Every structure is written in structure tokens, then in C-alpha cells.
Structure 1
């Protein structure tokens, strides 16, 4: 059985998908981009600001489902340019203390709304 997770504390989906789906103890969180859910505006002051907003959005979805960053087992980071990797990684690292999740980081040709970073996660609570 699956349960759809949605919260107003993260941006509403901009297409036919859910913010997250909970199934058999796994939480699959859709890619989050740096939209401030309170204003609907993009946070594009810097790549660090974009990444912070993405991480806040992920946290909101995790919390709605009763999960925390410590439950994340896999992340995928999409970047508009690999030159942004170090700054994104610096912000990202602040959210994980130990038992780090598996991860890949890839550069892509384009991301929704022309943002520079999108992150999706899979979390597990057994």
C-alpha cells in the first residue's frame, strides 16, 4: 500500500506528481527546487541560497511524513553546472552528521524554472 505525502510547507508540485510517496517503510521524495513555499518565489541569490531552500523544502516533506534527514538512504543531486559542486556540497554536508546516504551528483542540460540545483531523496524507517 502507498500513501501520498503533501505539505503546504514545501512547494506544490508543478506537474502530475506528488511531493512524496510512502511505501513499505520507504519514502520517495520528488526532486525539490529552490522555491520558497511561503511566497512562491525562487531563491536565486546564490547557489548556497538555492541549496539551503532546497534542503528546507526536503525537510518539510520529510517532517510531514514523520521522517528526518537521518532516515535518508539515497540522494540524487542535479546541477546546472558541475562548477557549482563544492558550494552545493558544503551546504548539503551541513544536514548530515554520520551514516551518510548513498548519492550521485550529475550535471544536466536544464532544470525546471532554470534553477541551478534540484535534489531528490529516498528515506527509510523500518
Structure 2
């Protein structure tokens, strides 16, 4: 894979840009240590980061509490080497020259798991996926 810049760039997208995509970008920043550029956006952004998402990442020493949800733009997609869409609900109009993949992440609420326990399971699922993606993107 060839990259548009010196470091590979990933844009994580979910509907509200308040939970999963924010978590994925924060986790990628931690895992990659600058070797991968990450950003996040939403197809229908909310007004704030989900408090439980922020709490679950804070347990790992990652602070996303001050991040502000924002709407995905065509320019965001054009800058990214890869756009990762988290969940089935987020819809993105794909642009040429950018790769896309969709992650169907764990949804513990379907098993009756709620609150911080739910968010920890989602965090851990995303962390596993981000770690694998980082390894793929930085393989030379």
C-alpha cells in the first residue's frame, strides 16, 4: 500500500463521533505512537463525547474528554489513506483514491451488558482491531 503522506493516515467514522470513532482514534494514537496519523468524524455528529467512552479510555491513560464531535467531510476522506467505518449505522459517500473498510464492532448491549462494562468490552474490541490495523499499516 502506498500512502498519501510520510505516515499512513486513518479516518475513523461512526454516526455521532462521540463514542466508537473517538475511541478508535485515541487508541490508534496510543498504539501507533505517531507512526500512523488518525482522525475521527461522524456522519451525524452529536454534541459531546460519550462520557462512558471517555471513562473507558481514561482507564488506559487516554484522554478524549475534551474532544468535540465533528461531521465528516470529503476533504477528510481525500486526506486519509483508509477510512474505517465503525458499525452498520454510519453511512459514508466514498471518494475515489481512498480505501474503505467497515468494522462491525462488539455490541454487548445485545447480551444485556450495559454501562461501563459495556464500554470496556467495546474498547477492548476496538483496541484489538486498531492493534492489528497498526501492524498492517506499518509493515514494510
TM-score calculated relative to the size of structure 2: 0.30
Structure number with higher strand proportion: 1
Q: Which has the higher helix share?
A: 2
Give me the TM-score of the superposition, normalised by structure 1.
0.32
